[in-house]
Amino acid sequence: MAISSDENLRERINSMTRKGLLRNIHELPFTGGVSVSEADAPEAEGATKYNLSCNDYLNLIHHPYLQECASNAMAMYGVGSGGSRLMGGATPLHGELEERLAVLTGFPSTLLVGSGYLANYGLLTALLGKSDYVFFDKLNHASLLDGILHSGCKWKSFPHKNYHVLEESLRRVASKYENIYIVTDSIFSMDGDRADLVALQRLSTMYGAKMIVDESHAMGICGAGAGVGVGGVGVGGADADAGAGGVGGGLCVEMGVRPYIVVGTLSKAYASYGGFISCSHLVREYLLNTMRTFIFSTSLPPSVVASSIGALEIVSSTSTITMGEELTMGEELMLRAKMFHGMLMDAGLRVEEESGTATDGTEPMLLAFSSQIVPIMVYDNDRAVALSRLLGESGVHVRAIRYPTVPLHGARLRFSITLGFDEGQLAEIAHSVVQAIAKSSGSTR
């Protein structure tokens, strides 16, 4: 395809503008969910106080211990790694983090990658080929879709969490292909709901499929280290020396499911940067020699790796006592997210079980509670943008999510709850949300 002229590019931008799909960057004076330092404290009316589009789920971005870990590593190794892992950009810290992540997720080995996107894309383009057939959830993350589409494999998507349709498809192709894969998110990034991993493992075992699970939004939050229980090891599961997984090891650990491969990120609950692939020793060796996003990328800076190690230590050793019960950081996060969801319900927002789409002026509504991701379905692009702007004027930063991140007519506000918000702040945010919805509809509640 010929390179587009500037005129063509301008027309594409104008088209996005007309459809309410043009995006922009909004800079904030702080990182994390809450403006906490006095230097950042908002004084002007309408200045941003709360960031509800932040994935710092466990409120670790400003943790002093992680800053100390990063500072010490920087003093020893400098600001960068100096090369790819295979060419000289490997330090003992990189190996240590991989070992810790393998134990955390209950796999024999882990390969550290530059980001979650690079991990998913690189894994799927290296692993899959023309003789493979892949089934994937329609609402999987874009990095999974891109990797599948560019791998050359045969593929079919199934409606979101519709495992009856998936089973019918598996039944038709199971005997025709040597390698069949099922690819899914564990917690879906835009709806916040959870895959039924037990059902998926049953199907993978029944039809000889290998399951790949992206745990990006569950890592550090789900999994209390209870171990892999009922269901055992799925088809193509990890080597015999794999463990049970640990606190924060993801939804697979929590549900007692052992997929073929788990992909995770360090940029959300662990407040750092980078992605990783937990797998068997054999798969790791193959990826190390074939995965282009690993081979041809500079490795993560040692300071970033060190802060990730520190975050793993904090999550595995920190608990709170709530109503006489000892909770992990992830469990405490779920309580706060459920509290926020309840506040919005109490204020009159109706609950929709599934996200879907609408074009008939449907009023904003909540999705059923499932995780720290709390979406409010708005459906209309312009109204979603208007609500985002109104909330910004009240000090609440939350971005409007529109196509192509979500389906057409599926625009929403996606609230990411973090441990940085206390009950009073969540109540203030919920009140701002209700007021903005009322103002945008020209009515009062």
Q: Which residues of 72-93 are buried (b: 16+ CB within 10 A; e: fewer)?
A: ebbeebeeebbebbeeebbbeb
- The pLDDT tens digits of the residues spanning 122-147 come to 999 999 999 999 999 999 999 999 99
Asked if residue 172 has pLDDT above 70, the reply is yes
Check residue 36 and give its pLDDT.
Answer: 60
Residues 275, 114 contacting (CB under 8 angstroms): yes
- Whether the bond between 301 and the residue before it is cis, its omega within 30 degrees of 0, is no
Residue 232 has pLDDT above 90, yes or no: no
- Predicted pLDDT of residue 241: 59
- Pick the more confident residue, 322 or 430: 430
**Dihedrals phi, psi of 378, to nearest 5 degrees:** -115, -30
pLDDT at 378 over 80: yes
Cβ atoms of 308 and 93 closer than 8 Å: no
Q: Answer for the pair 381, 19: CB distance below 8 angstroms, yes or no.
A: yes
3-state secondary structure at position 144: helix
- Separation between Cα atoms, residue 55 and residue 270, nearest integer Å: 9
pLDDT at 431: 97
Supply the pTM of this predicted model.
0.91
Using a pLDDT cut of 70, give the percent of the chain over it.
Answer: 90
Q: How many CB atoms lie within 10 A of CB 283?
A: 23
Q: Residue 394, SS3?
A: coil
State whether residue 326 is helix, strand or coil. Answer: strand
Structural domains in the chain, CATH included, are: 26-55+327-441 (3.90.1150.10), 64-316 (3.40.640.10)
pLDDT mean over 195-220: 98
> What's the confidence (pLDDT) of residue 227?
34
pLDDT of amino acid 213: 98
240 has pLDDT over 50: no
Per the structure block, which two tokens stand in for 313?
């230590």
| Cα first-last separation, the chain | 53
Residue 187 φ then ψ, to 5°: -110, 125
Query: Judging by beta carbons within 10 Å of its beta carbon (0-12, 13-18, 19+), is residue 433 exposed, middle or buried?
Result: buried
What DSSP designation does 232 have? Answer: -
Question: What's the pLDDT band for 235 if we cut at 50, 70, 90?
Answer: very low
Identify which has the larger pLDDT, 293 or 320. 293
Provide the pLDDT for residue 224.
76
So what's the pLDDT on residue 321? 77
pLDDT tens per residue across span 48-79: 899 999 999 999 999 999 999 999 999 999 99
How much is the average pLDDT of 276-297?
98
User: What does DSSP assign to residue 421?
Assistant: -
pLDDT of residue 444: 36
**Is 183:134 a contact under the CB 8 Å cutoff?**
yes
Residue 45 confidence class, pLDDT cut points 50, 70, 90: low
